[in-house]
Amino acid sequence: MKNDSNETKKPLNFIERIIEEDLASGRISQSVTRFPPEPNGYLHIGHAKSICLNFGLAETYGGQCNLRFDDTNPAKEEMEYVESIKKDVQWLGFDWQGDIRFTSDYFDQLYTWALGLIEQGKAYVCDLNQEEMRAYRGTLTEAGKDSPYKERSVEENLALFEKMRAGEFDEGACALRVKIDMAHPNMQMRDPVIYRIKKVAHHQTGDKWCIYPSYDYAHGQSDAIEGITHSICTLEFEEHRALYDWFIANLPVPSTPRQYEFSRLNVNYTITSKRKLKQLVDEGHVDGWDDPRMPTISGMRRRGFTPKSIREFCDMAGVTRTDGIVDVSMLEFAIREDLNTNATRAMCVLEPLKVTLTNYPEDKTEQLVGPKHPNRIELGARSLPFSREIFIDQDDFRESANKKYKRLVIGKRVRLRNAYIIEADEAIKNEQGEIIEVKAHFIENTVGKNPEDGIKAKGVIHWVDAKQHIDCEVRLYDRLFTEASPDVGGKDFLSCLNPDNLRVLTGCKGEMSLAEAGQDDHYQFEREGYFILDAKEKHVSIRVFNRTIGLRDTWKK
RNA sequence: UGGGCCGUCGCCAAGCGGUAAGGCACCAGGUUUUGAUCCUGGGAUGCGUAGGUUCGAAUCCUACCGGCCCAGCCA
């Protein structure tokens, strides 16, 4: 139809194209993907891309996406992370069909298959220690050489592997390896270890095992067991694909999944290294994994990002195999776009300056109104008490200024948002010469209309009634780092921490409607930015608001 | 100096032999009781470089150049 040709469809990414081809050719009847986090830390913005990709594919192709915890290393993994990961995935708006899976669910099957490999003479127990094994592996440019234990008999290997399983060896004493090719140009194929001894309790299997399968030995087989059709991972696993395929080809697995790699998400002025993120937490540079400055999903949630904005951002960034660094401005655009259309408007004076309207009756208070959203009046209005004394922001007043300054200046007029036009008369200063109050007068009959004398106001500023308001604390966050790539090379990322990444403002004055702010209510403090109640400080009597992101500011003076 | 992968506007990213989509950022206008939003317009004679094939190449071939990944009993 004409409509179709006019509509600009979003082009498919390479994985979507592959799936459509597989669906069309009949290779698969339904797509099955999985998001396979290791429960050893908190999810961050980079994981969000993988989540959106894998679960998104299930949504668009009517397929399935499993949530599987890749828990093959009990020394690093904890149940606490399992819970936080589940919460984050759901918060992002995705759900997994059926139960949560664990690679550990397949430990018995994996073990049985390993026995089969030994019986076929394709695996052996190797007694080389780590240093020796490294030496035998060769280098990037030199072939490795066979382990002296490679030719043990099937019976001996079986017996040794059983002893490993039974806990008769110490950690590191030996490991089960698969026989491939010590001279293979792909290092991953030089007889990789598939089982190692770890005398550590596992959060799912307890102390049932003291030997654990390696990632390479477990991942593809787990995919096969679950009927995963497209096993999507990041680029650094590319050379593991040959190994992945080797296991699928050499084991009696129930299906033949295929691995595809895409480039991970990098954002400038941000780090996503778990190690470095942990360092920020441990050394107290931030308050915790969910500190609003952190690029973790929990941190972004607390900061006020919405699931929709994060999904939109991931969608904008695209899925390719090109290494790149996305500009944070794209993330900032995504959250502003969502909040601009959905956040309730309110006024909040961050750094108060009292203004007394000398011609306004001392005992009078009138209830003015402002729309909750200027472009969506159907959302209703909020009541704005107005009286003789109000607060405006210190930045919105100057004794004198050039024409570019569109705020309150002595002898000049300015519009109070949703209220009267006022004109400043005098600045009252303290002994230090600081302005502590402004005397002004209001122009009658200017609510919702221009002055009858035809002299319009040149700007609009926000304000809050001096008697009826709520006191609150506002936290302004800025980027954590001053360098676009704090994460590169051997650079000390801590040396580029932004000293101004947090500004705490106390004594802020918010309009009365803010007293009703709930945990999931996003606000736009007009002329300031988007804010949300801090989830961790909700018990405090003084409300604490986090700035999610400022408004776009094109005012250059 | 082994192997694998990648190079299209400042940043993402379409394109798959027929004469460079789109988004972010930026710049210039317009509207506006948020210096916001919104609207309009602007920008690669060029697709890492150099050759070649072709009527025609970002798309095919060749050679270079640059970047990333791999030598954990981590994932």
The strand ranges marked E within A266-394 are: 344-346, 348-349, 352-357, 365-371, 381-387, 389-393
- Asked if residue A492 has pLDDT above 90, the reply is no
pLDDT in tens, A155-186: 999 999 999 999 999 999 999 999 999 999 99
**Protein-to-nucleotide distance from the CA of A317 to the C1' of B14, whole angstroms:** 13
- In the predicted model, what is the mean pLDDT of residues A433-462? 95
**Protein-to-nucleotide distance from the CA of A325 to the C1' of B65, whole angstroms:** 22
pLDDT of residue A186: 97
What span, in angstroms and rounded, lies between the C-alpha atoms of A15 and A329?
A: 26
CA atoms within 13 A on the CB side of A75: 10
pLDDT in tens, A316-337: 999 999 999 999 999 999 999 9
pLDDT of residue A369: 97
* pLDDT tier for residue A555 given thresholds of 50, 70 and 90: confident
- Cα A169 to its chain centre, rounded Å, is 42
Q: Which residue has the tokens 């009286």?
A: A387
**Any strand B atom closer than 7 Å to A405 CB:** yes
**Any strand B atom closer than 7 Å to A3 CB:** no
**Any strand B atom closer than 7 Å to A237 CB:** yes
- In the predicted model, what is the mean pLDDT of residues A451-472? 95
Provide the angle, in degrees to the nearest 10, between the axes of the packed helices A307-317 and A45-61: 80
**Protein-to-nucleotide distance from the CA of A320 to the C1' of B6, whole angstroms:** 10
Pairing of strands A230-234, A435-443: unpaired
pLDDT of residue A1: 29
Question: Closest Cα partner for A408 from A393, A396, A394, A420?
Answer: A396
pLDDT of residue A5: 40
Find out whether A438 and A428 touch, Cβ atoms under 8 Å.
Answer: yes
Q: Which of A143-147, A178-182, A211-215, A540-544 has the lowest mean pLDDT?
A: A540-544
What is the average pLDDT score of chain A? 96
Question: Nearest nucleotide, C1' to the C-alpha of A70?
Answer: B75
- Asked if residue A4 has pLDDT above 50, the reply is no
**Any strand B atom closer than 7 Å to A6 CB:** no
Q: Which of A209-218, A505-514, A535-544 has the lowest mean pLDDT?
A: A535-544
- In the predicted model, what is the mean pLDDT of residues A238-254? 98
Instruction: With H, G, I as helix, E, B as strand and everything else as coil, classify residue A12.
Output: coil
**Any strand B atom closer than 7 Å to A270 CB:** no
- In the predicted model, what is the mean pLDDT of residues A544-548? 98
Question: Closest Cα partner for A227 from A30, A43, A80?
Answer: A30
Question: Nearest nucleotide, C1' to the C-alpha of A40?
Answer: B75
Find out whether A123 and A102 touch, Cβ atoms under 8 Å.
Answer: no
**Any strand B atom closer than 7 Å to A215 CB:** yes
- In the predicted model, what is the mean pLDDT of residues A108-114? 98
Dihedral, CA of residue A109, residue A111, residue A114 and residue A120, to nearest 10: -80
pLDDT of residue A538: 74
Instruction: With H, G, I as helix, E, B as strand and everything else as coil, classify residue A408.
Output: strand
Pairing of strands A64-69, A32-35: parallel
- Cα A535 to its chain centre, rounded Å, is 17
**Protein-to-nucleotide distance from the CA of A496 to the C1' of B42, whole angstroms:** 36
Residue nearest B13 (alpha carbon to C1') = A318
pLDDT of residue A8: 59
pLDDT of residue A556: 63
Q: Which residues of A are catalytic?
A: 38, 264, 274
**Any strand B atom closer than 7 Å to A478 CB:** no
- Asked if residue A2 has pLDDT above 90, the reply is no
Percentage of the residues of chain A whose pLDDT score is greater than 90: 95
Q: What one-character DSSP code corresponds to residue A515?
A: G
- Cα A260 to its chain centre, rounded Å, is 23
Chain A 27..86 CB hits on strand B (< 7 A): 36, 38, 70, 72-73, 76
What span, in angstroms and rounded, lies between the C-alpha atoms of A414 and A424?
A: 9
Q: Which domains does chain A have, with CATH numbers?
A: 107-216 (3.90.800.10), 352-462 (2.40.240.10), 471-549 (2.40.240.10)
**Protein-to-nucleotide distance from the CA of A186 to the C1' of B3, whole angstroms:** 5
Count the helices and strands in chain A (H runs, E runs): 13, 27
Q: What b/e sequence results for A347-376 when a residue is b if at least 16 CB atoms lie within 10 Å of its CB, and e otherwise? A: bbbbebbebbbeebeeeeeeebebbbbeee
- Asked if residue A489 has pLDDT above 80, the reply is no
Q: Which of A487 and A423 is assigned the larger pLDDT?
A: A423
pLDDT of residue A491: 67
Question: Closest Cα partner for A396 from A350, A431, A443?
Answer: A350
Chain A 324..353 CB hits on strand B (< 7 A): 324-327, 329-330, 332-333, 336-337, 340-341, 345
Q: How far is CA A267 from CA A46, A316, A401, A491, in A?
A: 9, 13, 40, 17
- In the predicted model, what is the mean pLDDT of residues A102-116? 98
Strand B nucleotides, any atom under 7 Å to a protein CB: 1-8, 10-16, 21-27, 33-38, 67-75
CA atoms within 13 A on the CB side of A93: 12
